[in-house]
């Protein structure tokens, strides 16, 4: 029931002396009814989908060859927006964000030290997207854990990712960790090398958009990590050099964005299973918008896929910043 009609009904209940709701303890009933009405109206308006944003996203989706998934939440007010949020989207390198969170939680427990040396054999240095490969192509070298973490988050280093996942006892251990902190709409079966072995393997590393936003929220509220490790992670995500034309693409210069992207290969048919970006944006009004944008199984080219994400991010920022359309 719309809150206006609900409020009118309650008014009639109070006004009508013969109504059962007013038989006894009239003042108490009035107070209870007013509180219920206020709570209902607050819930309704806080949780309603922003209509203008809904229309904009629907228009973008109609012009997109691929499936879009979105979840957005203003962290201070819990205003939300979602689109295809109940579906499973291929993560690709987005999963490096939860990997970093799990590693740093283990650092906080004393299991690892960011200054410790990690031996990387030649077999773990593969020719792929990797700063480690560029620096140490022959492998068989000890590298500080901090450097490995930085390469994974800043440059989306696939070798660094798999080294860290091995330290954490593998993909299934990551899934168990995430489920243990209450994020259940996510699954990780393969590391980077495992995803590359077989095309369909990447579809086994999935999440809902809301799962990523929940993790962003927990990090923002510093509920998972100590102050030092939490600050380190957020700083690295703010400084990442990967895919600057997605969430950041159409935002005003200087907008603070802490994010992690994910990108699949494109097969011979032109199919790209994953083009993603998830992150927290500092709005002009001082609030923070956590947003996850996934584009799955798209036949658009690289530039258009990036632009689709950029347009959605810009529309969401305008909506939740209170910016009027020009």
Q: Are 216 and 290 in contact (CB under 8 A)?
A: yes
Q: Name the 3-class secondary structure at 280.
A: strand
Return d(Cα 180, Cα 251) in angstroms, integer: 35
Q: Which of 82, 192, 258, 300 is catalytic?
A: 192
Judge whether 269 counts as a catalytic residue: no
Alpha helices in the chain (DSSP H): 3-15, 26-47, 51-62, 96-108, 131-135, 145-155, 158-167, 171-180, 192-197, 209-220, 227-239, 302-321
Task: Taking each helix axis as running N to C, give the angle between helix 171-180 and helix 96-108, from 0 to 180 degrees, rounded to the nearest 10.
Answer: 70
Pairing type for strands 117-120 and 141-144 reads antiparallel
CB-side exposure of 135: number of CA atoms within 13 Å?
13
Q: Which of 93, 130, 156, 272 is catalytic?
A: 93
Q: Are 149 and 163 in contact (CB under 8 A)?
A: no
Q: Select from 237, 233, 213 the least CA-distant residue to 293.
A: 213
Return d(Cα 85, Cα 146) in angstroms, integer: 34
Judge whether 93 counts as a catalytic residue: yes
168, two tokens: 């954490």
Q: Please list the active-site residues.
A: 93, 192
């Amino acid at each position: 029931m719309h809150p206006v009609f609900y409020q009118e009904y309650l008014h009639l209940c109070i006004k009508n002396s013969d109504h059962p709701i007013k038989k006894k303890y009239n003042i108490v009933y009035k107070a209870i009814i007013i509180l219920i009405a206020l709570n209902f109206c607050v819930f309704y308006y806080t949780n309603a989908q922003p209509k203008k944003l809904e229309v904009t996203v629907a228009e973008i989706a109609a012009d997109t060859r691929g499936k879009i998934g979105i979840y957005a939440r203003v962290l201070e007010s819990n205003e939300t927006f979602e689109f295809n949020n109940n579906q499973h989207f291929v993560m690709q390198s987005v999963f490096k964000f939860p990997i970093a969170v799990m590693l740093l939680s283990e650092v906080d427990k004393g299991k690892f030290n960011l200054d410790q040396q990690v031996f990387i054999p030649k077999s773990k240095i593969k020719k792929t997207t990797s700063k480690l490969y560029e620096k140490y192509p022959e492998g068989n070298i000890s590298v500080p854990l901090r450097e490995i973490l930085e390469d994974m988050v800043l440059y989306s280093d696939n070798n660094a990712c798999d080294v860290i996942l091995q330290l954490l006892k593998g993909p299934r251990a990551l899934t168990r960790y995430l489920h243990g902190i209450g994020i259940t709409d996510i699954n990780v079966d393969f590391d980077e090398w495992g995803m590359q072995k077989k095309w369909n393997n990447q579809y086994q590393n999935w999440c809902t958009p809301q799962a990523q936003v929940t993790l962003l929220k927990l990090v923002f509220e510093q509920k998972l990590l100590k102050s030092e490790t939490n600050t380190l992670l957020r700083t690295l995500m703010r400084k990442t050099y990967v895919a600057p034309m997605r969430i950041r693409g159409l935002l005003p210069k200087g907008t603070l964005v802490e994010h992690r992207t994910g990108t699949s290969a494109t097969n011979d048919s032109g199919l790209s299973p994953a083009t993603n970006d998830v992150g927290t944006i500092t709005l002009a009004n001082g609030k923070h918008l956590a947003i996850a944008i996934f584009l799955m199984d798209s036949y658009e080219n690289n530039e258009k896929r990036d632009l689709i994400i950029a347009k959605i991010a810009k529309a969401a920022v305008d909506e939740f910043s209170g910016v009027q359309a020009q």
